[in-house]
Amino acid sequence: MTDFQTHPDRYRHWRLSFDGPVARLEMAVNPTQTFAPGYELKLNSYDLGVDIELADAVQRIRFEHPEVRVVSVGSALDRVFCAGANIRMLAASSHPFKVNFCKFTNETRLSIEDSSRHSGIRWVAGLNGTTAGGGYELALACDEIYLVDDGNSAVSLPEVPLLGVLPGTGGLTRLVDKRKVRRDHADLFSTLIEGVKARRAQQWNLIDGSWPRSSFAEKVAARARELAQDLPERKAARGIRLAPVAGRAEGNTLAYEYVTLQVEPEKRVATLTVHGPRSKQPRTGAEYEQAGDRAWALQAFRELDDALLQLRFGHETVGVVRVQTRGDADAVLAVEKDLLAQRQHWLVNEIVLHMARVLRRLDLTARSLFAIVDAESCFTGALFEAALACDRIYMLDDAAGKVQVAIGPLANGALPMSHGLTRLQCRFLANPAHAARLALEQPRYDARSADEHGLVSVLADDIDWADTVRMAIEERASLSPDALTGMEASLRFGGPETCDSKIFARLSAWQNWIFTRPNATGDEGALVSYGKPTKARFDWRRT
């Protein structure tokens, strides 16, 4: 079981400090404190453990330090910013771990951009030396990038010529979509092992500026302060403390307060259960500040987030996930209505943004997801969003019509998918007016009505219910996991693309495939041959 919980007091690779509206996040990777044995984290290269700390830092800045308006990202090492993902670690890792590692790093960097886009926090990267691969991809996630001009330091994405893989943490996509680098310049840049130094990097829009080494640290700090002065303050009395999310492992069950993950390894099936509120919940922004991380909307979704990560990294063979809910549907809707009404409050806004990020993590989970709506369900509001994130929704057709689902007020744009659409818009691409009407009306639907409105996939009555669900899951679990991963990823994100969705639907998909190819990870592949006296041997056929 991987521990995704940490705290700045226990960081081994980052230093986080605060000076009024400016936070300073310094990379100081301890070479010997690796996530797994067999390699060293030289030159600020990173592995999953380094990125877990980064994800924690981003989250804590948002929730614990609402006074922060600018984050300055730098390095504590002389003449080195970051050498990217550790190559020895990648070469030694299993294929599923490599893919899940890349996905986690992508989600972490997207959370940086999300904080800039929606929380008013700007990120400034000060590259004081070598910046390669994932190190430059981290910089690309920031709003502004500055490189030291010392005649030697450069930015680079050397994965294609050096390792036979891609800069898979969004590098290729952010070059052309985010920074609008010309295609020919991006092509040249991505095949130059040595990278590009300050003057040309600025000409190509790879960076925003440069300064000589003698004044670099001072200039970066000044730019962060200047930027902070130009940004509006977030009105907040104080931040809240984020305690660790604690799950209790008992056999194949991982239980939190509101979330349970039960795994049946022999069947390659898991059941993910989310419970609604069990007590009175905050209603105003001030009450949410007082409740802190114990408010259901924050705690339950933090637990769901951790459970999804445990599923990804700890249960590779699970192919099908039953998603179910338990609790009071009215209580879930009441929370959601109050969240929407108080959205202008900084903490309420952060909670809603966090819910959206967790639901996107669910969208991007490479498992078959079946929502099971039964007599005990409370699939309403944001929990019904979790159902809409699933590949299929099975609903019990009870004669009394007591089994119901309900769309909540946050469905109308507050919880977008990676490509910017709501899940209703994505579901009803052929009928956007219908999606808009459902989001506006927000009624409750029994099974027949939900089916008529296109909100469920399969109805079954009491007699057929258990067999229908069982056979569907058994059939799904028997299919090729590779084919299902490709099919699901292609079907889940209909409609337009954004930079975010391209990173996962296109770039990550290609990287996933490349990682299985002998040109990269075979006995004589480029990733495996790195650092050895022999050159990689390629199968030169294009497919």
Domains within the chain, CATH numbers bracketed: 8-230 (3.90.226.10), 248-487 (3.90.226.10)
pLDDT (0 to 100) of residue 236: 65
pLDDT at 11 over 70: yes
> Following CA atoms 379, 381, 383, 387 in sequence, which dihedral angle do they give, to the nearest 10 degrees?
70
Span 345-400, pLDDT tens digits: 999 999 999 999 999 999 999 999 999 999 999 999 999 999 999 999 999 999 88
Are 424 and 435 within 8 A, CB to CB?
yes
Average pLDDT, the chain: 95
Q: How many Å apart are CA 535 and CA 295, to the nearest integer?
A: 56
Q: How many Å apart are CA 126 and CA 128, to the nearest integer?
A: 6
| Angle made by CA atoms 393, 397, 402, in degrees to the nearest 5 | 105
pLDDT at 264 over 70: yes
What's the whole-model pTM score?
0.95
Q: How confident is the model at residue 237 (pLDDT cuts 50, 70, 90)?
A: low
Q: How confident is the model at residue 59 (pLDDT cuts 50, 70, 90)?
A: very high
Span 462-517, pLDDT tens digits: 999 999 999 999 999 999 999 999 999 999 999 999 999 999 888 888 888 899 99
Mean pLDDT throughout 244-263?
Answer: 96
Q: How far apart are the two ends of the chain, measured CA to CA in Å? A: 38
* Nearest by Cα to 43 from 146, 145, 149, 156: 156
Q: How confident is the model at residue 232 (pLDDT cuts 50, 70, 90)?
A: confident
Mean pLDDT throughout 521-534?
Answer: 91
Are 76 and 26 within 8 A, CB to CB?
yes
pLDDT (0 to 100) of residue 316: 94
Q: How confident is the model at residue 1 (pLDDT cuts 50, 70, 90)?
A: confident
* Nearest by Cα to 340 from 432, 412, 238: 412
pLDDT (0 to 100) of residue 238: 84
The overall longest dimension of the chain from CA atoms, in Å, is 78
Are 93 and 536 within 8 A, CB to CB?
no
pLDDT at 443 over 90: no
Are 531 and 452 within 8 A, CB to CB?
no
pLDDT at 223 over 90: yes
Q: How many Å apart are CA 96 and CA 93, to the nearest integer?
A: 8
pLDDT (0 to 100) of residue 61: 97
* Nearest by Cα to 204 from 188, 223, 220: 188
pLDDT (0 to 100) of residue 441: 84
Residue 275 forms beta bridges with which residues? 326
Span 320-331, pLDDT tens digits: 999 999 999 999
pLDDT (0 to 100) of residue 114: 97
pLDDT (0 to 100) of residue 246: 87
3-state SS assignment for residue 232: coil
φ and ψ at 134, to 5 degrees? -60, -25
Q: Which two tokens stand for residue 219?
A: 């200039």
Per-residue b or e along 386-417, where b marks 16 or more CB atoms closer than 10 Å to that residue's CB: bbbbbbebbbbbbeeeebbbbbbbbbbebbbb
Percentage of the chain exceeding pLDDT 90: 92
